[in-house]
Amino acid sequence: MIKLKINGQEQTWEGDPTLPLLWFIRDEVGLTGTKFGCGEALCGACTVLLDKEAVRSCVTAVSDVAGREVTTIEGLHPTGDHPVQKAWRQANVPQCGFCQAGQIMQAASLLMQNPKPSHDQIREAMSGNICRCGCYQRIENAVHLASTGV
């Protein structure tokens, strides 16, 4: 049996240990904020935090995170008011919104590691997250806004 914590709550899994964490989170635990976009770590829609690090849950096996602490978009902030979430709303970032949870988790991870990124650093750090609607200008501005205070 694999044990792990998701958003502070202990979860157990007795099924296939190679099951991608994404499907464990979405289908077995029922937290659907984390999205499926590609299954190959190409788009970042499934990004969650493993401690402070952003990882792609679609290529991370449940067994890889045994005993670890996973944070999804639902657990980023108790009231949904993490500086990145607030900045996202202030900048009216989303269009369809489907990739945004992954974008926000990636941005939150970036700011934990580099609280004052330059615009170039933002563009580099966010380049693993695709937005097909093309909200990039606003994503860049929102991350900057979050880093300078909302």
Partner 1 sequence: MNIIANPNKLRGFERSIKVENVSRRDIVKGLGIAGAFVLAAPLTSRPALAAYETGAGKMPHGVVVDPRVFVSIAPDGMVTIIAHRSEMGTGVRTSLPLIVAEEMEADWSRVHVQQAPGDEAKYGNQDTDGSRSTRHYLLPMRQIGACARTMLEAAAAKRWGVPATEVKAANHEVVHNASGRKIGFGELAADAAKEPVPNIDGLKLKDPKDFRYLGKGEVSIVDLRDITTGTARYGADVRLPGMKYAVIARPPVTGGKLVSFDGSEAMKVPGVEKVMEVKGWPWPSKFQPLGGVAVIARNTGAAIKGRDALKLIWDDGANGKYDSVSYRTELEAAARKPGLVVRKEGDVDAALKGADKVVVGEYYLPHLAHVSMEPPVAVANVKGDKAEIWAPVQSPGGTHEDVAKTLGIPVENVTVNVTLLGGGFGRKSKCDFALEAALLSKELGAPVKVQWTREDDVRHDFLHTVSVERIEAGLDKNGKVIAWRHRSVAPSIASTFAAGAVHQAPFELGMGLIDMPFEIANIQCENPEAAAHTRIGWFRSVSNIPRAFAVQSMVGEIAHATNRDQKEMLLELIGSPRIVNLSSVKDPWNYGEPYSSYPIDTARLRKVVELVAEKGEWGRSVPKGHGLGIAVHRSFVSYIATIVEVAVDEKGKLTVPRVDTAIDCGTFVNPERIQSQLEGAAVMGLSLAKYGEITFKDGKVQQKNLDDFPVIRIDESPRVTNVYIVPPGPETPPSGVGEPGVPPFAPALVNAIFAATGKRIRALPIGKQLET
Question: What residues line the site for partner 1 (CB under 8 A)?
Answer: 15-16, 18-20, 22-24, 26-28, 30-40, 42-43, 45, 72-74, 80, 85, 88-89, 92, 94-101, 104, 122-124, 126-140
Least distance CB 93 / partner 1 (angstroms): 8
Closer to partner 1 by CB, 66 or 96: give it.
Answer: 96
Least distance CB 19 / partner 1 (angstroms): 5
Closer to partner 1 by CB, 16 or 51: give it.
Answer: 16
Closer to partner 1 by CB, 68 or 123: give it.
Answer: 123
3-state SS track over the chain: CEEEEECCEEEEECCCCCCEHHHHHHHHHCCCCCCCCCCCCCCCCCEEEECCEEEEHHHCEHHHHCCCEEECHHHCCCCCCCHHHHHHHHCCCCCCCCCHHHHHHHHHHHHHHCCCCCHHHHHHHCCCCCCCCCCHHHHHHHHHHHHHCC
Least distance CB 5 / partner 1 (angstroms): 17
Least distance CB 59 / partner 1 (angstroms): 11
